Amino acid sequence: MELDAHFLLRKPFSEHEVVDLIEESELSEIPPPIYYKGGKSEAYCVQISYNRRLQTQYYIGVDWLNKEKAIYVEPKLNGSEVQTNYLEMLFVALSLPEAAQNATHLYEIKWERPSISIKQSQDLLTPLLVIIYLNLLKEIVRKGLKKSYYKVEHNLYGRVKGKVMVGKTIKENVLKNKTLHTWCSYDEFGINGLENRLLKKTLVFIKRYLPSIKHLHAETYTEQVFNYINPAFEEVSEEVSLHDIMHTKPNAFYNEYTEALRLAKIILQRFGYNISNTSTQKKTTPPFWIDMSKLFEFYVLGKLKAAGYSIVYQKKMGYDIPDYLLKDELLILDAKYKTYYSEDGMNESVATDIRQLAGYGRNEKVRSFFGISDEIQPKLMIIYPNQAVPDGITKGVLFSQGKPIPNYYNMRKVSVELPMVMPK
């Protein structure tokens, strides 16, 4: 079901922004406080308070507020006119196995809710799915396409193989005086199996779609990956029925195939299984949210590894899961997608984050990981985004690159600059 929504605000929100409602009457059917949460997270995406203010969190996307009003949150930082280039952040992240394996945590799609009509330029979800999908296919191609047995039908001359298709042989051969031909059905072994055909079908859709994401400056990366993938699928047919798409079951022994097939079905569903929908300027979308804080975690991990640091990422330590552990420096790091760290003042949110990090330092399993005695305390660091200064993460001793946090021992903060893009 598709509904024609008009967006609540004249101009989109940016992440973690608080905005007064334009007209209180517009949300008369919604009793405050109301929280709109992503299904995979306890954090809320949108909140409407008692004083009729609407606050967004660290998510981008589009969703219904009620039966008629929808909200669109775009990727902005610090209220600037430029947008955070979330796709470039994704490119950096997907070069890492840890991010590629957990890419499903980046987004949530609410298929059960009515679709919303949006412009092509407001579609933040499809480019994300396409990039993740292409990256999975890149890994599949690198390892080699899976071979399997699959049914084929051929009109054989002078021989019989497998099962004779009597009806088709009579209709196509006997009645046309082709007495030496026989239609047969039999199994072949190769790369043209159903799973690869479904992946190829989706690749054909993506090829038509790629020119439409040029406004996000992603064409260089996507074209390079597409050109790497495409030759491997030259001998694979794109013929696959809708029934086959809906009922394809992945092989548990091929992890990349499991996620790639799942994404292939989602992407084809996004285009309504109609290739002409890949280039439309107006489209419909189910409500969705993209978790920018999780994407920031992956992006920071890529930055740390690119600078040569040997990082342990989100290792479960009892009840705690620190973002990053740097054993060489006895350093615990936490990524915070919060711009207020660019200021030197303190607030309750900063104090809460510091208490969280301090708790990691007291965790016995963390201390055992570092191999430290009771007299030694690990160093603590917060990593945050800041567009006003160049990246603080470079090769060398990471802790020394940070800025001390006043009134706290052995605790520092360091900023990273996010890629930005001017929307067209």
Q: Is 224 contained in some domain? A: no
Q: Could you say which of 140, 164, 190 is where a domain stops? A: 190
Q: Which whole number is the average pLDDT over 9-16?
A: 40
Q: What is d(CA 371, CA 43) in angstroms, rounded to the nearest whole number? A: 34
The band of 169, judged by pLDDT with boundaries at 50, 70 and 90, is: very high
Evaluate if residue 372 carries a pLDDT over 60: yes
pLDDT of residue 217: 56
Q: Which whole number is the average pLDDT over 175-198?
A: 90
Domain count, the chain: 2
Q: Could you say which of 140, 160, 190 is where a domain stops? A: 190
Q: Is 240 contained in some domain? A: no
Q: Is 179 contained in some domain? A: yes
Evaluate if residue 383 carries a pLDDT over 90: yes
- Per-residue pLDDT of 321-365, as tens digits, reads 999 999 999 999 999 988 778 777 777 778 888 899 999 999 999
Domain residues for the domain of 166 are: 148-190
- Per-residue pLDDT of 307-316, as tens digits, reads 899 999 989 9
Q: Which whole number is the average pLDDT over 8-29?
A: 44
Evaluate if residue 10 carries a pLDDT over 70: no
Q: Could you say which of 157, 190, 223 is where a domain stops? A: 190
Q: What is d(CA 377, CA 253) in angstroms, rounded to the nearest whole number? A: 43
Q: Is 319 contained in some domain? A: yes
Q: Is 369 contained in some domain? A: yes
Q: Is 276 contained in some domain? A: no
Q: Identify the sign of the CA torsion 384, 386, 391, 396.
A: negative
Q: Which whole number is the average pLDDT over 366-382?
A: 90
Q: Is 208 contained in some domain? A: no
Evaluate if residue 390 carries a pLDDT over 50: yes
Evaluate if residue 182 carries a pLDDT over 90: yes
Q: Is 21 contained in some domain? A: no
